[in-house]
Amino acid sequence: MNLPIKIFDTLTNNEQVLKTITPNHLKMYVCGPTVYDRPHLGNARSVVIYDLFFRFFREIFDEVIYVRNITDVDDKINAAAKEQGVSIYNLTTKITEFFYEDIDALKVLRPTHEPRATDHILQMITMIEKLIANGNAYISHEHVLFDVNSYHDYGQLSNRNLDELVAGSRVEIAAYKKNPLDFVLWKPANKDDDASSVFESPWGKGRPGWHIECSAMSSRYLGADFDIHGGGADLQFPHHENEIAQSRCANKNSHYAHYWIHNGFLTVEGEKMSKSLKNFITVRDLLDQGIPGVVIRYLLTSTHYRKPFDFTQKSLDDAIKTMGKFYAVFASNEEEIKKALSEKTVINKVVLENLAQDLNISKVVSNLHEMAKEIKTNNDINLKNEFVATLDFLGFIDVNFFEQKNDEVASEEDFINSQIELRKQAKLEKNFAKADEIRNNLLAQNIVLEDVAGGKTLWKKK
């Protein structure tokens, strides 16, 4: 389809008309999960946003290659495995399975390639050797480090110079570094490291630094130059800045990614989501409450991808109402949806045109409401088929939605009462940690519990 596409490019800090390296062929790399814990809503927002980009690009280009990696060797993984007393292999296997379970519920498509870091250690070592040979990396105290002073454009993505980056960022100060901003390409193993996280290298046993992983895997599947690199705004520095530096230095005359896309942060009721604030919400938390995956998907895409998204109970309620309105077009008849899907109707053109404007989701949602209103008025079968095709393209169709709404999604009061009973049982079993967890999870949803005389527990909205 010949449709001009505009995207906001972080590297130039401007909206650009997308021009692919190869006509009608788009190549995109996105930083995937580090598999040490279940995906929280911030993780899921990024996954869903780039899934929407992927779906859109497949409609426009003859061929799309989408690579989303899995980081399965990392300091956070080592720490989590030690804390839980399990092997790294068992932890990463379990968390990867959880990741798929959760994002599958959000109708996320599989990327073209999904490389694991541990399967590409050789490519990482080869890239590090090239950096050393090119004079961009040095060996110090069993570490291999990238020398940021050897790359004159360092800081371009962050739009800051070296002094500003040192002053404004959390960088590891270490005696073995020439410059505080120098970053690790390879690090030595610790004596107590799990064997599955230790690899042989020309510099001794150890493991790669985080940044080199994405550079090696992106070049392996997309080449030294490709069209788009995406990820969360939190990755802009240092991760993506470091990717650019090491990739361009390892592959002379390479531009690396031609465009950079970053999605905004997620907050909860106006605050940063963190376990210490007791407002840490995972995809599984919402699914276990009976919230359909398509509702969560709509919720995470309802704010423009570059803007911060604030998760609130109201935003969740609004998402439930909106999706309920869209499905009401079919009068709770899932057979009508299945029939419409079988028609293979084309997607609404205006929706595609609005997505081409830097993924203008607010206009897309407005388009959907207009279509739903017109169908309700005229009951036009062709428009209804187009509506289903468009919802399906956006990832908002689940033929089990009606069953979920009718049989699985308990009312808010029923859910809260069930949690109170689980908490009461946990206290009887002297599992006070579990009881506190239930209380805190409800508090994160603005539900306050109050224990009163007679062993009863009352609740109210905060």
Q: Domain limits of the chain?
A: 6-263, 267-408, 412-461
Question: How many residues in total does the chain contain?
Answer: 462
Tens-digit pLDDT profile for residues 351-377: 999 999 999 999 999 999 999 999 988
Tens-digit pLDDT profile for residues 103-127: 999 999 999 999 999 999 999 999 9
| Sign of the dihedral defined by the CA atoms of residues 296, 302, 304, 310, in that order | negative
Dihedrals φ, ψ of 423, to 5°? -65, -40
| Tokens linked to 251 | 């592959």
Q: What is the 3-state secondary structure (H, E, C) of the chain?
A: CCCCCEEEECCCCEEEECCCCECCEEEEEECCCECCCCCEHHHHHHHHHHHHHHHHHHHHCCEEEEEECEECCCHHHHHHHHHHCCCHHHHHHHHHHHHHHHHHHCCCCCCCECCEHHHCHHHHHHHHHHHHHCCCEEEECCEEEECHHHCCCCCCCCCCCHHHHHHHCCCCCCCCCCCCCCEEEEEECCCCCCHHHCECCCCCCEEECHHHHHHHHHHHHHCCCEEEEEEEHHHHHHHHHHHHHHHHHHCCCCCCEEEEEEECCEEECCEECCCCCCCCCEHHHHHHCCCCHHHHHHHHHCCCCCCCEEECHHHHHHHHHHHHHHHHCCCCCHHHHHHHHHCCCCCCHHHHHHHCECCCHHHHHHHHHHHHHHHHHHCCHHHHHHHHHHHHHHCCCCCCHHHHHHHHCCCHHHHHHHHHHHHHHHHHCCCHHHHHHHHHHHHHCCEEEEEEHHHEEEEEEC
- Other C-beta atoms within 10 Å of 9: how many? 19
| Tokens linked to 14 | 């401007």
- In this predicted structure, what is the pLDDT of residue 355? 98
- In this predicted structure, what is the pLDDT of residue 434? 83
- pLDDT one digit per residue (tens) for the chain, 462 residues: 789 999 999 999 999 999 999 999 999 999 999 999 999 999 999 999 999 999 999 999 999 999 999 999 999 999 999 999 999 999 999 999 999 999 999 999 999 999 999 999 999 999 999 999 999 999 999 999 999 999 999 999 998 888 888 765 666 778 899 999 999 999 999 988 999 999 999 999 999 999 999 999 999 999 999 999 999 999 999 999 999 999 999 999 999 999 999 999 999 989 988 877 778 899 999 999 889 999 999 999 999 999 999 999 999 999 999 998 998 887 656 777 888 788 778 899 999 999 999 999 999 999 999 999 999 888 888 998 999 999 999 999 987 776 555 444 445 666 787 788 888 888 888 888 888 888 888 887 788 898 877 678 888 777
- In this predicted structure, what is the pLDDT of residue 185? 98
The end-to-end CA distance of the chain, in Å, is 50
* b/e map 428-462, b = 16+ CB within 10 Å: eeeeeeebeebbebbebbebebeeeeeeebeeeee
- pTM of the full predicted structure? 0.86
Separation of alpha carbons 220 and 134, rounded Å: 20
Separation of alpha carbons 137 and 130, rounded Å: 9
Q: Are the C-beta atoms of residues 217 and 117 closer than 8 Å to each other?
A: yes
Report helix angle 241-250 to 121-133, nearest 10.
Answer: 70
Sheet holding 143-146, edge to edge: 137-140, 143-146, 183-188, 206-208
Sheet holding 309-311, edge to edge: 271-272, 266-268, 309-311
64 Cβ neighbours under 8 A, 6+ residues apart: 25, 26, 27, 28, 54, 57, 58, 112
- In this predicted structure, what is the pLDDT of residue 286? 93
Separation of alpha carbons 45 and 42, rounded Å: 5
Domain 6-263, classified CATH 3.40.50.1820, yes or no: no
- In this predicted structure, what is the pLDDT of residue 331? 66
Across-strand partners of 29? 67, 229
